[in-house]
Chain A
Amino acid sequence: MLSIAPEIRVSPPVAAPNVVAMAEELPTDHELMIAVRAGDIPRLGDLFERYHQRLFAFFVRLTSQPSTSEDLVQLVFYRILKYRHTYRDEGKFTAWIYHLARKVAADHWRKQSNTPIATDPTELPEVVDTAPDSAEQTAGREDLALLRVALAQLPVEQREVLVLSRLQQVEHRDIAQLLETTPGAVKVRVHRALKELREVYFKLRRERAA
């Protein structure tokens, strides 16, 4: 009854899990970013390969719009390029990129003038599943679709903290830095968000069953 091993992400919540998993001689995110800042622009490609999927998932969970999310990821890397001189020697790349991502998302919502919340599972992005269908799989897919709807119905602050901590596996310390609060406060927010998600999810399931 200890911690649940995540089915998808087996690596511990670190800044750049793939870097740790790979050979030690690979440059860290910070080293790559310092190189980019010094004018070695092609190294940004390495950072893109490490981060674009995570960022895309972050934006999809926040906006529920895959196409828009791709544009937002592109915008984050554009801003990294544009503001590379502001990256600080003592900075942490993960915290910086999520800081930029949050700003990009905030700008996006400002343009949209309201936070888009998908309430119908059909409006949400479908994940392609090539495995043959079974009754269990179909039930599982419906469950996940309900969970996506529940997640989308959460207030954006709760959704964001859940995405960062549970789906992006950003450390509570880094989230605290992003949200300008303490790690303890972050844990409390995550706990409340999980509770809220659970309530919304079970409510949706009851409505569906009825």
Chain B
Amino acid sequence: MNCQRVQESFLDHQDGTLPADESAALRAHLASCPTCQREWAALQEITRKLDALPVPAPSPRLREQFYAMLDTHERQATHSGNPFAFARSRLDRFFEALLPHRPSLQFAFSLALLAGGILVGARVLAPEPATVAVPVVDPSSKEEIAALHRRMDQMGQLVADSLLVHKSTNDRLQSVLATMDVANPDRKLLADLVSALAFDPSVNVRLSALEALAPHTKVDVVRAGLLTALPRETAPLVQVGMIELLAAAGEREATPILDKISRDTTANQNVREAARRALAVLRAPLSPPTDNQNASNKPAQPILT
């Protein structure tokens, strides 16, 4: 055994892992070699010192921080405010145990799932087009569908008309006021005005319609409209306007209605008085037509000014 070999075996010799025969040869060499003796002594000293180095101890802070970290992790995992977290982790573990871990098996499993999905999809979704085709074949169903189509068209028309009719109050008022500028309105326009007078929900629109109709009381549509609208009217202002207009027009057919209003105790006092005045006018002998014409313009004036 030469010196280099001996010195290389020092560590194993020190650890006691050197085979017995080599260990004996080493000791024999050491006994006769001063250089290796010095090396061995120096190694012994340094390892002894190294082993004597005190083991540094951590402060309690380390343990505290570790358990705080563990607590935080546990809280986040199970009590993070999500009641499903625990169940989910259990579920994850269940599927982890159930599903394959090897990539090749995972791939095969995915392929099997895909094939199964296609198979099920083909079976479940295929009959659907056949059921859709049935009503096309059946003639009675065909008629039914045609009828439904017609009804749908009608409803569409109705909705369109409603949209036209139900403009904003301001728009309706503008429409009515616009008719005042027309010198000789046709029956359609007058009929529209009468409709506004009878059915418009806004008092302002009805008053404007009444004013627009005032010059045209000679037209039968207007008078008939006034007679129809008067019993429906609820606003005293419009009622008084209508009564005065009918009286001015000398519409004797209004007498029963006016009579009824004049006796109606629930009616507005002004309306009843107006009805009584109109009855007096209508029951009176015929007035000159010029006065009627002048008077016909009068009632609308105080209403609108």
Contact = CB atoms under 8 A, between A and B. Distances in A.
Contact of B49 (A66, A73, A143, A190): A143
B42 interface: yes
Nearest to B26: A1
A162 B50 contact: yes
A74 B74 contact: no
A70 to B, nearest CB: 5
B47 A52 contact: no
Q: Name, among B54, B74, B93, the residue most crowded by chain A CB atoms within 10 Å (CB to CB).
A: B54
A166 B51 contact: yes
Interface stretch (B6-14, B175-183, B200-208, B236-244): B6-14
Contacts of A38: 93
Contacts of A190: 11
Contacts of B93: 38-39
A52 B66 contact: yes
A187 B11 CA distance: 8
B46 A9 contact: no
Interface stretch (B55-63, B263-271, B272-280): B55-63
A162 B49 CA distance: 13
B70 interface: yes
B95 interface: no
B50 to A, nearest CB: 5
Contact of A197 (B15, B16, B46, B74): B46
A62 to B, nearest CB: 12
A82 B214 CA distance: 91
A53 interface: yes
Nearest to B31: A1
Nearest to B74: A41
Q: Name, among B7, B44, B55, the residue most crowded by chain A CB atoms within 10 Å (CB to CB).
A: B55
Contact of A9 (B14, B15, B51): B51
B58 A147 contact: no
Contacts of B48: 4
A81 interface: yes
B1 interface: no
Task: Please report whether the interface of chain B is mostly helix, strand, loop or mixed according to DSSP.
Answer: helix
Contacts of A39: 89, 93
B146 interface: no
B96 to A, nearest CB: 9
Interface residues of B, number: 42
Nearest to B43: A194
B69 interface: yes
Contacts of B77: 41
A164 interface: no
A127 interface: yes
A140 B54 CA distance: 12
Contacts, number: 115
Task: Please report whether the interface of chain A is mostly helix, strand, loop or mixed according to DSSP.
Answer: helix
Given A4-B44, A4-B47, A7-B52, A78 B69 contact: yes
B131 interface: no
Contacts of A42: 70, 74
B65 interface: yes
A45 interface: yes
A148 B44 CA distance: 17
B27 interface: yes
Contact of A127 (B27, B47, B50, B54): B54
B283 interface: no
Given A45-B70, A70-B61, A147-B53, 19 more contacts: A3-B13, A4-B44, A7-B51, A45-B66, A48-B63, A56-B57, A66-B58, A70-B62, A74-B62, A78-B69, A125-B56, A140-B52, A162-B50, A167-B53, A187-B12, A188-B8, A190-B11, A194-B46, A197-B50
Interface of B: 7-8, 10-16, 27, 30, 42-59, 61-63, 65-67, 69-70, 73-74, 77, 89, 93
26 contacts: A1-B30, A2-B16, A3-B14, A3-B15, A4-B14, A6-B51, A8-B52, A9-B51, A41-B70, A44-B70, A45-B70, A52-B63, A53-B57, A56-B62, A57-B55, A66-B56, A66-B59, A70-B65, A81-B70, A127-B54, A140-B52, A147-B50, A151-B50, A162-B50, A191-B7, A198-B42
Interface of A: 1-4, 6-9, 38-39, 41-42, 44-45, 48, 52-53, 56-57, 60, 66, 69-70, 73-74, 77-78, 81, 125, 127, 129, 140, 143-144, 147-148, 151, 162, 166-167, 187-188, 190-191, 194, 197-198, 201
